[in-house]
Structure 1
Amino acid sequence: MSDALAGFEKPEDPDLLVGIETSDDAAVYRLSDDIAMINTVDFITPPVDDPYWFGQISAANSISDVYSMGGRPVTALNVVMFPSKHLDMGVLREILKGGHDKVIEAGACLVGGHSVDDNEPKYGLCVNGVVHPDRVITNAGAKPGDALVLTKPLGSGVLFNAVRAGKFEFKVLERETLPIIASLNGTAMQLALKYELHACTDVTGFGILGHSLEMALGCSKHIHIEYQALPFYSGAYEMYKRGETTGSNVANRALVARHTLVLSRTLTKEQEELLYDPQTSGGLLIALPADQAGELINEMHSAGLGVAVRIGEVTDEAVGLTVR
């Protein structure tokens, strides 16, 4: 979309605190000295066949953009595309129930929405949140000396495709992986805001390298990723070894290739593919002073976010990425 918007006149409004300039997760507009509103919209095709899981995952994915800006979700509107002539309306009800339950869990209000008849189901939310204008967290504020903390594993993209291809059991995915994917990022952000948080984004469709690159470009610094520290969902590596992939890996690789990427360690083809694997409702990627990272991770573990881990650092080098 950024290419399609190239050349459009940018808003000259001092109250627009976050627009499209740094490919951030949501827009932020100041309403008063104490309140700014966060606006975001996202919808996806079904990552799994189960309609209730689909609704939960999509809603968590949409709400995450408000959390990644440091905000609190307040209202949500359903965005629905559904083939009413081909699927039973009970399927739609289960999708909407999953979304409703996740919005309620987030402490927000589901207040309506819009639907159209389409050939393929799609579902998501337009989410509105609030944040103090002086406490907005963007993806562009990381500083040299910051540590990077990731709060969820990687590899959901290939697992979703592997289930569709019959190479991975849905029961295993449902038991081990879907509860993490569908979990909200609210607790992680609530804990992170107690620290000197410099930047944040959620890891979604561009994969860990794509979203790390956005953070590096936003702050004009260099990001180092420790491959051995990266958490992956069980089975993801094995699925790449069995020849499974996603429709986004090639595009994500091309996106990163436009900029400086240094692989300072030898990786197998499958290990590399995991770096470009697109996430749905992924974790937060948080930049904060290195001496605060350990305490934050310990707090996250105590709060049940056992996967939270330090995965890298920000340095004052030329803009780019290094995987070591």
Structure 2
Amino acid sequence: MGNEKLFCKGGGCTAKLGAGILSRVLERLPKFDKDPALLIGYDSKDDAAVYKLTDEVAVVQTLDFFPPMVDDPYTFGQIAATNALSDIWAMGGQVKTALNIVCFPEKSDLNILGEMMRGGAEKVAEAGGVLAGGHSIADSDVKYGLSVMGVVHPDHIYANNTPQTGDCLVLTKRLGVGILCTANRVGEASAEAMEAAIASMTTLNKYAAQCCRAYEVHACTDVTGFSFLGHLHEMMDGAHSCRIEAGAVPVFSEALRHADEFLLTAAGQRNRNHTGPFVRFENVPFAMEEVLFDPQTSGGLLVALPKEQAAALVEDLRRGGAPAAVVGEVTDSEDIEIRVIG
């Protein structure tokens, strides 16, 4: 591709509106008296809404859907469902029910729709949930996802912006799937790299979340369309800073090569534009910068927990097959929010 940047229009979480645009819209929504039972709502930047029913039970609600980022409809259904289910675990909850969200051209092959929904249904079942229905509309383009309901104890919610100074930051999946999917669309990604990326995108965060329950998690989010650095920026929330060791971050190595070839996404550039002012890179290669801004589809959990517990959590996660690593630590607020050290 030479030195020309290729900004591909793509599916998955690359299709999300940019964080900057979304923030400007949400700021203009009318403000109402807050229901005290709404523990987490749209006025936060968290992964899902949480509504308290009793002293023991709160409902976690989320939804996510997007266009395909892979050709196979069954695989796409699996990825879309895995991504949508993730927010429940990012909040510390357990999946209970899910509803299909489907946009599909009426004149297209309905076997494609069936395979897509079969992939999603299997992931809901693996999550321990019940597929309870859904809604479909005729559309010119295919889109699929889920509305998901889960439960969590009101005292055990994982917020995304409550880390503590001294916490270690643990990431549970590799970064770079957005760049790999972009490269795949133009025939540049290897079959081996795409197989590994698909395996990552179809791995439920349920298993990582089960490991986390044994530890004192201070904050948690899943890394999706706003990129590792974008979601990290939301976690710091203007109250803390952090240092990230670029060499410790788990990455698909082929994604670095494609980033050097400028096989990038428009969504990655939007992430850089929005989050870049809060980040200082120190001796970090361009390709690694791009991976850290890369929109992830069905990415891993980013967890803040006490330093003395981090190594044990990583060991538990790796024992379960996750490529987890301690990637940095939380500090008091400094002159720059996120320092990434090469």
Which range, TM-score by smaller chain?
over 0.9
Name the amino acid aligned to 2:270. A
Secondary structure at the aligned position of 2:25 is classed as coil
The aligned residue for residue 324 of structure 2 is: 308
1:41 lines up with 2:63 in the alignment: yes
8 Å CA contact retained: 1:17, 1:30: yes
Name the amino acid aligned to 1:313. E
RMSD over aligned CA atoms reads 1.3
Secondary structure at the aligned position of 1:285 is classed as strand
The aligned residue for residue 253 of structure 1 is: 272
The aligned residue for residue 111 of structure 1 is: 132
Matches within 5 A, 1:1-324: 1-7=22-28, 8-85=30-107, 87-169=108-190, 171-217=191-237, 220-257=239-276, 259-263=277-281, 265-305=282-322, 307-318=323-334, 320-324=337-341
Instruction: Find the aligned partners of 1:11 and 1:172 in 2 and give their Cα distance.
Output: 53
8 Å CA contact retained: 1:22, 1:140: no
Name the amino acid aligned to 2:196. E
- After TM superposition, give the deviation of residue 272 of structure 1 in Å: 1.4
Secondary structure at the aligned position of 2:228 is classed as helix
8 Å CA contact retained: 1:240, 1:273: yes
Secondary structure at the aligned position of 2:195 is classed as helix
Could you tell me the TM-score, scaled by structure 2's length? 0.90
- After TM superposition, give the deviation of residue 242 of structure 1 in Å: 2.1
Could you tell me the TM-score, scaled by structure 1's length? 0.95
Q: Which structure 2 segments of 5+ residues have no match?
A: 1-21
8 Å CA contact retained: 1:61, 1:281: yes
Secondary structure at the aligned position of 1:245 is classed as strand
8 Å CA contact retained: 2:230, 2:275: yes
Instruction: Find the aligned partners of 2:194 and 2:233 in 1 and give their Cα distance.
Output: 31
- After TM superposition, give the deviation of residue 174 of structure 1 in Å: 4.6
Name the amino acid aligned to 2:101. V
Instruction: Find the aligned partners of 1:176 and 1:119 in 2 and give their Cα distance.
Output: 31
The aligned residue for residue 8 of structure 2 is: none
Which 4+ stretches in 1 moved above 3 angstroms?
A: none
Instruction: Find the aligned partners of 1:144 and 1:269 in 2 and give their Cα distance.
Output: 29
Instruction: Find the aligned partners of 1:292 and 1:268 in 2 and give their Cα distance.
Output: 30
- After TM superposition, give the deviation of residue 197 of structure 1 in Å: 0.5
Secondary structure at the aligned position of 1:127 is classed as strand
Secondary structure at the aligned position of 2:24 is classed as coil
- After TM superposition, give the deviation of residue 55 of structure 1 in Å: 0.3
* Number of equivalent positions: 318
The aligned residue for residue 9 of structure 2 is: none
Residue-by-residue CA offset, 1:233-290 (whole Å, 9 max, x unaligned) = 1310111122211121110001113x43222x22232221111100000000000000
Identity %: 45
Residue-by-residue CA offset, 1:115-155 (whole Å, 9 max, x unaligned) = 11111111000000000011011101100010000000000
8 Å CA contact retained: 2:65, 2:101: yes
